[in-house]
Structure 1
């Protein structure tokens, strides 16, 4: 039986959650559909993988988030089809839901750019299961190398992608090798281990200023990260990666931080796709040539009033969710939609212990070092979804900073 709502939101990322909350405050009958029953804080998944914080620090149940909004409902199910003309959503359970307005905020998935072997052998880092799997297999590899004793090899990790996710992941793993392996395993194993950061572009953090790039490069290298920039990865193998220049790097683990594309729900929606498989939305966040369809977050290519492309950032998605809710309320009440006015808060990237880069605001006020590190912590504390998550993350960060403790390591069953 088809069930009807005023609004259905597909996907519970930053944009989807913000939209549901804003609509719930207005008393709009809204349904969120997501394959998980929790919201995940994607920017910190690399810290889950490196055991700096726990899974509970980056997740919060949707029902817990929406319990104060009586008009908001949640269905935990995988969406297998969206009809943008009939305004229906069909789940893998066979249920169909109808709404006056659909919001597609289904997020993104790893974009391997058709690189041979990447999907089969590389570790993406865009979901909680991804982070747990990577963390588990990293510890298993360390255990195996440690059992080999002084005659064994070390652990070699390649991170593909020199953007913020790749930089933060490589930096965190390098610090584990530098500080944590000697504490939990041995100094000899640490000395035999390595982490490489690779990308086809000539420098890390390509969207940042030259000053930030230079700072990040210097601190990554000081932490032990080996950089191979300006050479594209042509193949990911079970034992490493190959490059366009004919060279190879051996690795037990290859982490893919090389880019994102819109998920299957958007790809199969029938909407015309643009760069990264995302939908080039109108200034008011609606999909072109449709009625009552909004596309948000990593599923959308958004622009500001001047036509400049907006970043694929959590803060941008969150703002878009709130703005879309305002326009949806106007649709439902006979009002007028307005173009999305993004408040540019800038860019940040954590490099390592006490080191970060931040380019704040539309004029890109630049900060490096401990001050940027504190700013990064502050921004992420604010963006976390609940007070318990904020408190727990701060305690975990303090414990990690002072002691390099890794109490969050939890091994599950083998995954690869």
Structure 2
């Protein structure tokens, strides 16, 4: 099969969807390809894994997103290869699609940094599938321990960035507020959550004040912190740290970093840190006019040349900006260098507890005000009215009543279930 479109967009994350929406509103013929038929709200995956919200709150069908944009076609397929010179993509079905412009927004894959055993035994947390597998694993582990009064429940979260902090905090609060309510009364005393990172503090990109607040709250809810020491191997029964100590664990969650996937690695484009493409100021790939690389597949800089973090807000703004430059390409206009509007950082630490550093001036909030701000911002960013309503209901139910979304496990319990 050989189809030609004005724009091919590979990847339906924040960047790809934002670009497709802007182009579709201008009547541009767009083909959007993704291996999933839904758009996932990645910042809330940890809440799916910890039963704070359901999958339907963060996953919206792509055809629903674009139902009113008749020039945008959605194809569900796995992109296997790209031809930068031809501005084409080839899928696992053997189909090839060509465009006048090509957008690579294929996201990333977990970066295990060659840590022995990590890929085989740790749960990553980058997709809906990852989140549901982790949630199922946690529920099964609690079910097993509930039947055996001698069994302990130990979880190690690797990575002290926002994902790791949010995951560890949510798990510890589940132990504190939920496990005793739904399981045997002594099970909570047998549960432990560990957070490990080779850097000396949590939330390294945040201010010292935010780091101290997050550290204090995590400690308060029972997270055992192991900072300044890396993980040297992951085993089925736990992890080994760089200082030689071992932490027993039935579940290891890997939130230790991301890298670009194989399609980008094999594209022939020059790669930088994390296997990502160091894009030019107009978001095109070097020596590949008309090829844009966005989101977690790209290293993007601001107008001052400072590398921007791998955040959803960066990806979303870059998608809209790239669409503007593609429109300029199609109409004979001039591309403009990406001008990022810095909205700051946020991280949820637990119930009623969060840190926020807002805007270029980094206005700092901690505690309940940051918590409410976090809720409002993420509610506004969710795609679709139904998703917003579901998330709001889940948060009210969970944070006010400590009644989480329930994970239903079907089939036999198999502790050796393969992980992605």
Question: Which interval holds the TM-score relative to the shorter structure?
Answer: over 0.9
CA distances 1:97-150 after superposition (whole Å, capped 9, x unpaired): 01111000000110000000000000000000100000001010001111102x
| Equivalent position to 2:249, from 224, 248, 251 | 251
How far residue 187 of structure 1 moved from its aligned partner, in angstroms, is: 2.7
Q: In structure 2, how many angstroms separate the alpha carbons of the residues matched to 1:320 and 1:154?
A: 46
| Equivalent position to 1:321, from 308, 319, 322 | 319
Q: In structure 2, how many angstroms separate the alpha carbons of the residues matched to 1:37 and 1:342?
A: 29
State whether structure 2 residue 180 is matched by structure 1 residue 186.
no
Q: In structure 2, how many angstroms separate the alpha carbons of the residues matched to 1:410 and 1:40?
A: 21
CA distances 1:34-70 after superposition (whole Å, capped 9, x unpaired): 0000000010000000111000000001110001111
Aligned to 2:173: 175
Contact 2:394 2:405 in 1 (8 A): no
| Equivalent position to 1:198, from 192, 196, 199 | 196
Task: Give the 5 Å matches for 1:211-230.
Answer: 211-230=209-228
Q: Alignment length, in residue pairs?
A: 414
Aligned to 1:161: 159
Higher mean displacement: 262-271 or 117-126: 262-271
Aligned to 1:402: 400
Return the TM-score normalized by structure 1: 0.98
Q: In structure 1, how many angstroms separate the alpha carbons of the residues matched to 2:5 and 2:48?
A: 36
How far residue 408 of structure 1 moved from its aligned partner, in angstroms, is: 3.1
| Equivalent position to 1:392, from 390, 393, 418 | 390
Q: In structure 1, how many angstroms separate the alpha carbons of the residues matched to 2:19 and 2:172?
A: 38
Q: In structure 2, how many angstroms separate the alpha carbons of the residues matched to 1:282 and 1:372?
A: 35
How far residue 383 of structure 1 moved from its aligned partner, in angstroms, is: 0.9
Aligned to 2:55: 55
Higher mean displacement: 209-218 or 402-411: 402-411
Q: In structure 2, how many angstroms separate the alpha carbons of the residues matched to 1:355 and 1:169?
A: 13
Return the TM-score normalized by structure 2: 0.98
Aligned to 1:361: 359
Q: In structure 2, how many angstroms separate the alpha carbons of the residues matched to 1:309 and 1:390?
A: 32
Q: Which runs of 5+ in 2 are unaligned?
A: none
Aligned to 1:97: 97
How far residue 166 of structure 1 moved from its aligned partner, in angstroms, is: 0.1
Q: In structure 2, how many angstroms separate the alpha carbons of the residues matched to 1:309 and 1:264?
A: 22
Aligned to 2:22: 22
Q: In structure 1, how many angstroms separate the alpha carbons of the residues matched to 2:45 and 2:302?
A: 29
CA distances 1:138-178 after superposition (whole Å, capped 9, x unpaired): 010001111102xx122100000000000000000001111
Q: Which runs of 5+ in 1 are unaligned?
A: none
Contact 2:123 2:254 in 1 (8 A): yes
Q: In structure 2, how many angstroms separate the alpha carbons of the residues matched to 1:348 and 1:290?
A: 35
- CA RMSD, 1 decimal: 0.8
Q: In structure 2, how many angstroms separate the alpha carbons of the residues matched to 1:336 and 1:412?
A: 56
Aligned to 2:43: 43
Q: In structure 1, how many angstroms separate the alpha carbons of the residues matched to 2:131 and 2:117?
A: 20
Q: In structure 2, how many angstroms separate the alpha carbons of the residues matched to 1:351 and 1:407?
A: 19
Q: Secondary structure at the match of 1:197?
A: strand
Q: In structure 2, how many angstroms separate the alpha carbons of the residues matched to 1:100 and 1:59?
A: 30
How far residue 88 of structure 1 moved from its aligned partner, in angstroms, is: 1.1
CA distances 1:285-327 after superposition (whole Å, capped 9, x unpaired): 0000112100001110000111011111111100000000000
How far residue 412 of structure 1 moved from its aligned partner, in angstroms, is: 4.2
Q: In structure 2, how many angstroms separate the alpha carbons of the residues matched to 1:412 and 1:120?
A: 23
Q: In structure 2, how many angstroms separate the alpha carbons of the residues matched to 1:195 and 1:67?
A: 43
How far residue 386 of structure 1 moved from its aligned partner, in angstroms, is: 0.6
Q: In structure 2, how many angstroms separate the alpha carbons of the residues matched to 1:247 and 1:382?
A: 44
Aligned to 2:380: 382
| Equivalent position to 2:280, from 268, 274, 282 | 282
